């Protein structure tokens, strides 16, 4: 409240001529003239109220009644349009209008139907509530909000073009800081990630007083912080990994072709920008967006190639695909042959890659109704229809054969 | 746990009378029978000791009535002195596992007689017309 | 609800379908070539099996190729060298198991086996009864199915009924209780063949029919005949159907196209084995055993070759893998291979010269081309060896 008062005061200082004139150094060479005052800005009713009205408290006490009551005068009485203080001839108002030698009488012209329609349309277009129309493809995570939306490739930097890059906003929020002379200063913070869909990506957080500026700046800064992330088979991560930043813990799992991205929406967006197509991720702890992004990028950068793991552990790495029934593919072989009779302890690959961590599996809570009598009766009733769908399907198939 | 499984959860006394009998399943106008071993005194929809076969009394597409019999278990229970309900005994007789039940001969004979009578009456009607 | 709607729609189309069903009277049209006597003793013979297995070859990538499965997850493991080696051996064993050939047996005929006749039972019921023994743990072939006819006769069921009952009470995964349309309608079957989906057809055939059924013989014969015309033999190599195919051609004296394909692809020992098989089936008085023995001494079996290939990952680690090895990998042949080629070429030429070969000109041309290529390779091989100062062993 105090802040608002201060602002209005400072404004009035700027505008009020009298106060200006106090300072002799700033004397203006002319006397300023103001053509507006509340006499010509407010309607007569409002101005009269200033004189005649009684406050609520006054009304309660019975003021504004009886003999001393001020009454508004109708100043329009006795006046005729066209005749005033200065006597003047107004053609069409208090004197006739001629076209050539002909006196013009009042008469109807041809009606234009378009006029009303045009006006209505104009009024509709000024509607009180405007919907943000957005192509479903361009939509972000939620409605027309910025997070999840694409803001195009970063701007060209000295002939370095970022074609094939795409930038996605991850976070767009208002932040305040306290300034000595301005008080709460509002700015917009934007976190965005940019990448070429082929293993090159970067992210940046930028604050700016305007949303548009913040978006542009974060996009361009992300382009300056590109990180190269090598992809396994051009579609997924090399191995499962655990990564954390602050209280955010992420478990990422390598998945087969066609699995898709089953993870937090921010991770999904980052993966799309990087070019990862199959991944499962589970977040434990805080879901702070900044932390998720940082943790995920750290995890990606800390990946090791199969060959590195093999060299580190002195063990062969093999892959068995269920779609190639029983086939064992050798992925990494230690460079040096292990010494004979060396007692190598074979560790579990997943334990190794996840750093001996496992995802917390929450106990499944069964719905409240499964121990009720009604549910039991329903199950008994449905028991006899358990194979009905298959029988009908077979019937259908047999008709075709 | 909705229904008792066919593999049998029926409790039984060692010396109680057992019976091999039908249990009517299926629904209205579409009978289907399980051939089961259970305590004689129990009602058909109580849990069974063991299911030993099935019987579909409605002919299928190729005009056959299908019966499945776990002969090994049936012989086991018969050896243990299990009783047989008449329909079950008839079915096992037709299957060749037991001697033919007298009622099967009776129904065969009655069917033949009915057919002969129908034929005779048809002939009579023809000669009259 | 949706299903019901579909059912109603289909009912509308029913009359139309019945019309088409009448056109296709039986499972596809009969093949021209049939086994006139029982091929089973010759096929299951150990020597024949060995020849057929050798001809099939064993390409692990082909045997374990990517298939569509509900769960296509990947398992990654750590393994020591010993574990990896035993895994390789198991893999080759598994591959051999997957390449097991379906048997070729003669068509089984229905025979009437009456258990009891009881005229007093006549008309005891309006329909016949089919009894299936569902005793636990029996094999399909051991399961008894008996039928009580309405005239009171108790007899073992026909093969068709037995199969139907087995499928009803003990369903086999993938087998349908009806004839698949693919085998029923000639135009669909012809389409499969025209698209060269031989392996698919044969795999489904194997699931749907037993080897002793006439449909199995008829359809497999038609596939092999079509294959002989389209000459896409490589599609069946390293599958379980290659052996029966080669046996079929050898039996019906039409091995020349397959032989030409083998020579062109430089599978000379396979060509020798094919000729030997045909000699064996038709009892041609030519001594093929010494040649086969010579080849066996010079070459290893496909399984051994596959295992050696797998084990080569260990060899890559040892840096001094030997210049001789390098030359072998560059040329693709070893000294033994060149020697084996010589032996087999001699045998093949002998066959081409004999009256058994039908497409002499074509085969001769292929042999000549191969000889020239081989000679060049040999020259290069010897030159490289000399240049690197490797002693000829």
A164-218 tens-digit pLDDT = 999 999 999 999 999 988 889 999 999 999 999 999 999 999 999 999 999 999 9
Mean pLDDT of the B67-81 span? 95
Among B78, B60, B81, B59, which Cα is nearest to B69's? B78
Query: Across the interface, do C80 and A344 touch by the CB < 8 Å criterion?
Result: yes
- Greater pLDDT, A131 or C65: C65
Looking at residues C168-194, what average pLDDT do you find? 92
Q: How many Cβ atoms are within 10 Å of A171's Cβ, its own excluded?
A: 19
Q: Are residues B8 and B33 located together in one domain of the fold?
A: yes
| CA-based nearest distance B78→chain C, Å | 15
Return the pLDDT at B11: 87
Determine the pLDDT at residue C27.
Answer: 60
**Contact: C67, A325; criterion CB under 8 Å:** yes
- Claim to verify: residue C204 and residue C294 sit in the same structural domain: yes
Average pLDDT over residues C10-25: 46
Do B21 and B69 lie in one domain? The reply is yes
> Tell me, what's the pLDDT at A266?
97
Instruction: Read off the pLDDT of each residue in A238-251 and give the average, rounded to a whole number.
Output: 96
Residue B31 pLDDT more than 80? yes
Q: What is the mean pLDDT of residues C34-39?
A: 90
Average pLDDT, chain C: 87
Model confidence, pTM: 0.76
Which segment of A318-332, B70-84, C241-255 scores lowest on mean pLDDT?
A318-332
C365/A contact by beta carbon, under 8 A? no
- Which of B65, B105, B109 is nearest residue C129 as measured by Cβ atoms? B65
Tokens of A189: 């913070």
Share of chain B above pLDDT 90, in %: 80
User: Looking at residue C393, what is its pLDDT?
Assistant: 46
**What pairs with residue A83 in β-bridges?**
A80
Q: Would you give the distance in Å from CA C214 to the centre of its chain? A: 18
pLDDT at site A20: 44
The three-state secondary structure class of A66 is coil
Asked if residue C369 has pLDDT above 70, the reply is yes
* Residues B73, B129 share a domain: no
Domain that holds residue B42: 1-98
Distance from CA of A383 to the nearest CA of B (A): 7
Q: What is the end-to-end Cα distance of chain A in Å, rounded?
A: 83
Question: Domains in chain A, start-ordered, CATH in brackets?
Answer: 143-228 (3.30.160.20), 304-358 (no CATH)
Are the CB atoms for A346 and C80 separated by under 8 Å?
yes
Determine which of A20-34, A105-119, A368-382, C62-76 has the lowest per-residue pLDDT on average. A20-34
**Could you please report the per-residue DSSP string of A291-317?**
HHHHHHHHHHHT---HHHHHHHHT-EE
Task: Say how far apart CA C268 and CA C259 lie, in whole Å.
Answer: 9
Residue A323 has pLDDT above 60, yes or no: yes
Return d(Cα C367, Cα C54) in angstroms, integer: 21
Write the CA distances from A83 to A44, A87, A89, A90, B34, integer angstroms: 20, 6, 9, 9, 113
Q: Are residues B62 and B107 in the same domain?
A: no
Do residues C144 and C154 make contact, with C-beta atoms less than 8 angstroms apart? no
The percentage of residues in chain B with a pLDDT greater than 70, rounded to a whole number, is 95
Q: Is there a single domain that holds both residue C212 and residue C355?
A: yes
C104 within a domain of the structure (yes/no): no
- Distance separating alpha carbons of residues B50 and B35, to the nearest angstrom: 9
Helix axes C46-56, C302-317, angle to 10 degrees: 40
Model confidence at C56: pLDDT above 50: yes
Res A338: pLDDT: 67
Asked if residue B53 and residue B16 are part of one domain, the reply reads yes
Instruction: Judge if B66 and B108 occupy the same domain.
Output: no
- Inside any domain, residue C378: yes
Among C123, C157, C191, give the residue marking a domain's end.
C157
For residues C130 and C142, give the distance between their C-alpha atoms in angstroms, rounded to a whole number. 16
**Do residues C266 and C319 touch, judged by C-beta distance below 8 A?**
no
Number of domains in chain B: 2
Q: Which of C125, C157, C189 is the last residue of a domain?
A: C157
Measure the CA–CA gap between A261 and A267, rounded to whole angstroms.
9
Give a yes or no: residue C16 inside a domain: no
The reply to whether C7 falls in a domain is no
Q: What is the pLDDT of residues C127-151, one digit of tens each?
A: 999 999 999 999 998 999 999 999 9
> Does C129 touch chain B if contact means CB atoms closer than 8 Å?
yes
Same domain, C378 and C301: yes
Question: Tell me, what's the pLDDT at A29?
Answer: 64
SS (H, E, C) A187-233: EEEEEEEEECCCCEEEEEEEEECCHHHHHHHHHHHHHHCCEECCCEC
Q: Are residues A380 and B27, on separate chains, in Cβ contact within 8 Å?
A: no
> pLDDT-based confidence at A347, cuts 50/70/90?
confident
Task: Write out pLDDT tens, residues C299-308.
Answer: 888 899 999 9
Domains in chain C: how many in total? 2
Task: Among A381, A384, A391, pick the best mutation site for testing chain B contact (most B Cβ within 10 A).
Answer: A384
Lowest mean per-residue pLDDT among A48-57, A58-67, A274-283, C219-228: A58-67
Select the residue of A324, A347, A400 nearest C66 (Cβ to Cβ). A324
Compute the mean pLDDT over every residue in chain A, rounded to the nearest whole number.
85
Question: Quick one: tokens of A115?
Answer: 């006029």
In a domain, C41, yes or no: no
Pair B14, B62 in one domain: yes
Higher pLDDT, A119 or C11: A119
Query: C197 in a domain, yes or no?
Result: yes
Q: C122 vs B65: CB contact, 8 Å cut-off?
A: no
Give the distance from residue A396's alpha carbon to the nearest chain C alpha carbon, in angstroms: 6
Length of chain A: 401
% residues pLDDT > 90 (chain C): 59
As to burial, measured by CB atoms within 10 angstroms (0-12 exposed, 13-18 middle, 19+ buried), residue C238 is buried
pLDDT at position C171 is 93
Residue C148 belongs to domain spanning: 114-157
CATH number for the domain harbouring residue B34: 3.30.1320.10
Return the higher-pLDDT residue of C355 and C126: C126
Q: If DSSP states are collapsed to H, E and C, what string results for chain C?
A: CHHHHHHHHHHHHHHHHHHHHHHCCCCCCCCCCCCCCCCHHHHHCHHHHHHHHHHHCCCHHHHCCCCCCCCCCEEEEEECHHHHHHHHHHHHHHHHHHCCCCCCCCCCCCCCCEEEECHHHCCCCCCEEEEEECCCCCCCCCCCEEEECCCCEEEECCHHHHHHHHHHHCCCCCCCCCCCHHHHCHHHHHHHHHCCCHHHHHHHHHHHCCCCCHHHHHHHHHHHHHHHHHCCHHHCCCCCCHHHHHHHHHHCCCCHHHHHHHHHCCCHHHHHHHHHHHHHHCCCCCCCHHHHHHHHHHCCCHHHHHHHHHHHHHHHHCCCCCHHHHHHHHHCCCHHHHHHHHHHHHHHHHHHHCCCCCCHHHHHHHHHHHHHHHHHHHHHHHHHHHHHCCCCC
Residues in chain B: 129
**Number of other CB atoms surrounding residue A189 within 10 Å:** 16
Of A303, A251, A245, A306, give the one whose Cα is nearest residue A281.
A251
The answer to whether C80 contacts A257, with C-beta atoms less than 8 Å apart, is no
DSSP chain B: --S--TT------TTS-EEEEEEEEEETTEEEEEEEEEETTS-TTSPPSEEEEEEE-S--TTSEEEEEE-HHHHHHHHHTT-EE-HHHHHHHHHHTSSPPPHHHHHHHHHHHHHHHHHHHHHHHHHHH-
Question: What would the mean pLDDT of C263-281 be, rounded to a whole number?
Answer: 92
Q: Are residues C131 and C196 in the same domain?
A: no
pLDDT at residue C17 greater than cutoff 60: no
Top-confidence residue, A380 or C223? C223
**Domain co-membership, C152 together with C186:** no
Check whether residue B12 and residue B59 sit in a common domain.
Answer: yes
**Domain match, B110 and B93 both:** no
Same domain, B42 and B3: yes
- Beta-carbon separation of A379 and B27 below 8 A: no
Residue A6's pLDDT band, with cuts at 50, 70 and 90, is very low
- The winner for highest mean pLDDT among A100-104, A374-378, C25-29, C360-364 is A374-378
Q: What is the mean pLDDT of residues A342-364?
A: 86
Contact between chains at B3 and A380 (C-beta distance less than 8 A): yes
Are B40 and B12 part of one and the same domain? Answer: yes
Q: Which chains touch A (3 or more CB pairs under 8 A)?
A: B, C
pLDDT category at A104 given cuts 50, 70, 90 is: confident
3-class DSSP assignment, residue A350: helix
Phi, psi of A32 (to 5 degrees): -75, 150
- Domain membership of residue C60 (yes or no) is no
Any domain includes C37: no
Q: Same structural domain for residues B69 and B123?
A: no
Please name the residues between 232 and 291 in chain A that touch chain C, using a CB distance below 8 Å: 239, 254-258
Q: What is the pLDDT of residue C26?
A: 53
Q: Is C159 on the interface with A (CB under 8 A)?
A: no
Going by pLDDT thresholds of 50, 70 and 90, the confidence category of residue B45 is confident
Mutation target vs B (from C114, C117, C124; most B CBs, 10 A cutoff): C124
Residues contacting A257, CB < 8 A, separation 6+: A233, A235, A278, C72
Mean pLDDT of A241-254: 96
CA dihedral A109, A112, A118, A124 (to 10 degrees): 80
Distance of CA C335 to the CA centre of its chain: 32
ipTM for the complex?
Answer: 0.94
Does residue A378 have a pLDDT over 70? yes
In chain A, the residue whose alpha carbon lies closest to the alpha carbon of C11 is A399
Encode burial over B69-94: b for 16+ CB neighbours within 10 A, e otherwise: bbbebbeebbeeebebeebbbbbbbb
| B109, pLDDT greater than 90 | yes
Asked if pLDDT for residue C392 goes beyond 90, the answer is no
Tell me which of C172 and A384 has the higher pLDDT: C172
């Amino acid at each position: 409240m105090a802040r608002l008062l201060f602002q209005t005061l400072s404004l009035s200082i700027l505008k009020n001529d009298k106060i200006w004139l106090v300072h002799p150094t700033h004397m203006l060479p002319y006397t300023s003239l103001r053509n507006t005052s509340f006499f010509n800005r407010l309607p007569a009713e409002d101005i009269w109220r200033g004189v005649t009205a009684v406050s609520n408290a006054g009304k309660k006490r019975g003021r504004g009644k009886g003999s001393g009551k001020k009454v508004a005068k109708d100043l329009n009485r006795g006046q005729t349009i066209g005749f005033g203080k200065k006597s003047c001839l107004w053609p069409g108002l208090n004197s006739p209008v001629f076209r050539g030698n002909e006196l013009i009488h009042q008469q109807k012209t041809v009606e234009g139907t378009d006029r009303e329609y045009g006006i209505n349309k104009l009024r509709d277009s000024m509607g009180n509530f405007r919907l943000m129309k957005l192509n479903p493809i361009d939509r972000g995570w939620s409605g027309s909000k910025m997070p999840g939306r694409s803001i195009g490739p970063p701007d060209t930097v000295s002939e370095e073009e970022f074609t094939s890059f795409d930038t996605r906003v991850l976070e767009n929020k208002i932040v305040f800081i306290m300034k000595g002379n301005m008080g709460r200063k509002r700015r917009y913070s934007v976190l965005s990630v940019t990448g070429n869909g082929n293993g090159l990506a970067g992210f940046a957080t930028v604050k700016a007083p305007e949303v548009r500026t913040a978006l542009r700046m974060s996009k361009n800064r992300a382009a300056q912080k590109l990180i190269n992330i090598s992809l396994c088979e051009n579609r997924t991560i090399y191995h499962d990994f655990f990564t954390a930043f602050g209280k955010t813990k992420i478990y990422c799992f390598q998945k087969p072709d066609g699995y898709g991205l089953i993870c937090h929406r921010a991770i999904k967006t980052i993966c799309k920008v990087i070019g990862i197509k199959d991944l499962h991720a589970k977040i434990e702890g805080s879901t702070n967006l900044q932390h998720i992004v940082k943790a995920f990028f750290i995890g990606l950068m800390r990946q090791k190639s199969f060959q590195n793991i093999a060299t580190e552990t002195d063990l062969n790495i093999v892959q068995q695909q269920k779609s190639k029934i029983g086939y064992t593919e050798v992925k990494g072989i230690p460079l040096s042959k292990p010494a004979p009779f060396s007692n190598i302890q074979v560790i579990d690959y997943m334990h190794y890659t996840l750093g001996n961590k496992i995802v917390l599996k929450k106990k499944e809570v069964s719905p409240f109704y499964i121990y009720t009598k009604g549910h039991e009766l329903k199950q008994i009733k449905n028991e006899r229809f358990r194979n009905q769908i298959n029988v009908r399907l077979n019937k259908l198939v047999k008709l075709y054969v | 746990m909705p229904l008792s499984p066919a593999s049998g959860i029926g409790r039984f006394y060692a010396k109680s009378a057992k019976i091999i009998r039908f249990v009517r399943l299926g629904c209205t106008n579409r009978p289907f029978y399980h051939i089961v071993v259970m305590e004689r005194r129990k009602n058909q929809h109580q849990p069974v000791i063991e299911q030993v076969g099935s019987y579909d009394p409605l002919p299928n597409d190729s005009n056959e009535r299908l019966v499945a019999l776990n002969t090994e278990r049936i012989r086991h229970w018969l050896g243990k002195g299990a009783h047989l309900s008449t329909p079950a005994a008839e079915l096992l007789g037709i299957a060749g596992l037991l001697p033919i039940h007298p009622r099967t001969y009776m129904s065969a004979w009655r069917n033949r007689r009915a057919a002969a009578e129908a034929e005779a009456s048809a002939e009579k009607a023809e000669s009259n017309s | 609800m949706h299903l019901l709607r579909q059912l109603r729609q289909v009912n509308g189309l029913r009359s139309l379908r019945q019309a088409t069903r009448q056109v296709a009277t039986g499972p596809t049209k009969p093949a021209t070539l049939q086994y006139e006597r029982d091929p089973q003793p010759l096929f299951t013979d150990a020597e024949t099996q060995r020849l057929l297995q050798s001809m099939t070859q064993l390409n692990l990538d082909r045997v374990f190729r990517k298939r569509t499965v509900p769960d296509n997850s990947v398992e990654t493991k750590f393994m020591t060298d010993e574990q990896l080696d035993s895994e390789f051996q198991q893999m080759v064993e598994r591959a051999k198991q997957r390449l097991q050939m379906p048997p070729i047996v003669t068509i089984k005929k229905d025979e009437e086996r009456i258990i009891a006749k009881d005229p007093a039972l006549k008309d005891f019921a309006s329909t016949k009864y089919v009894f299936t023994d569902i005793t636990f743990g029996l094999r399909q072939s051991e399961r008894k199915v008996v039928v009580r006819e309405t005239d009171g006769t108790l007899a073992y069921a026909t093969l068709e009924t037995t199969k139907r009952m087995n499928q009803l009470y003990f369903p086999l995964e993938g087998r349908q209780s009806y004839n698949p349309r693919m085998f029923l309608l000639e135009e669909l079957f012809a389409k499969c063949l025209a698209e060269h989906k031989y392996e698919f057809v044969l795999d489904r055939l194997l699931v749907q029919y037993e080897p002793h059924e006439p449909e199995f013989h008829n359809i497999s014969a038609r596939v092999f005949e079509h294959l002989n015309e389209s000459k896409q033999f490589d599609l069946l190599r390293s599958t379980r159907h290659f052996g029966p195919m080669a046996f079929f051609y050898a039996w019906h004296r039409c091995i020349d196209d397959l032989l030409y394909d083998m020579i062109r692809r430089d599978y000379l020992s396979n060509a020798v084995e094919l000729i030997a098989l045909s000699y064996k089936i038709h009892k041609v008085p030519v001594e093929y055993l010494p040649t086969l023995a010579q080849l066996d001494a010079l070459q290893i079996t496909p399984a051994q070759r596959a295992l050696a290939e797998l084990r080569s990952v260990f060899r890559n680690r040892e840096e001094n893998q030997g210049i001789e090895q390098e030359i072998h990998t560059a040329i693709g042949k070893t000294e033994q291979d060149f020697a084996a080629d010589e032996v087999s070429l001699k045998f093949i030429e002998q066959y081409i010269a004999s009256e058994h070969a039908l497409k002499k000109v074509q085969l001769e041309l292929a042999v000549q081309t191969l000889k020239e290529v081989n000679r060049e390779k040999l020259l290069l091989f010897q030159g490289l060896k000399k240049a690197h100062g490797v002693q000829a062993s």
